[in-house]
Amino acid sequence: MGYTIKDIPELGIVEVIVVGLLDTELRQEILSKSSIHLIKTKYERLMIDITDAFSSLNQSMTEAMYLTSFMKTIGFHDAHRVAFIYYNADNLRIYLESTAMVHGFKIQYFKERKKAITWLCQ
């Protein structure tokens, strides 16, 4: 359980791979560490692979709004692009995309890594 952060320097992407339980606390930690890593590398592209992660079915739309607000407080801005790789775009994830767009963030979910990279590099 946990996550790893690595660079894909030839594409200017920070990649996070998450395995196991993904709760609110871990989401915050991943976003915080990713923000620091983006600043350090001067990259503006983040890809978070959660295909091997699972989360509680009790997640609320309020949590999606909270995470979007949290992203602003830790340094994410409108130049950043965030791609999630996940096999199922459930309602919470769709809501997170919409909420993020309202706050000026570029976030999208993808089922395929290749499509996520293509979108990030546009």
CATH classification of the domain holding 32 = 3.30.750.24
Share of the chain above pLDDT 90, in %: 55
Share of the chain above pLDDT 70, in %: 90
Average confidence (pLDDT) over 29-44: 96
Residue 34 has pLDDT above 90, yes or no: yes
**pLDDT computed for residue 47 by the predictor:** 98
Residue 15 has pLDDT above 90, yes or no: yes
Residue range of the domain that includes 27: 2-120
Three-class secondary structure assignment of the chain: CEEEEEEECCCCEEEEEEEEECCHHHHHHHHHHHHHHHHHHCCCEEEEEEEEEECCCCCCHHHHHHHHHHHHHCCCCCCCEEEEECCCCCHHHHHHHHHHHHCCCEEEEECCHHHHHHHHCC
Give pLDDT tens digits for 81-116: 999 998 765 666 777 788 788 878 899 989 899 999
* Total number of domains in the chain: 1
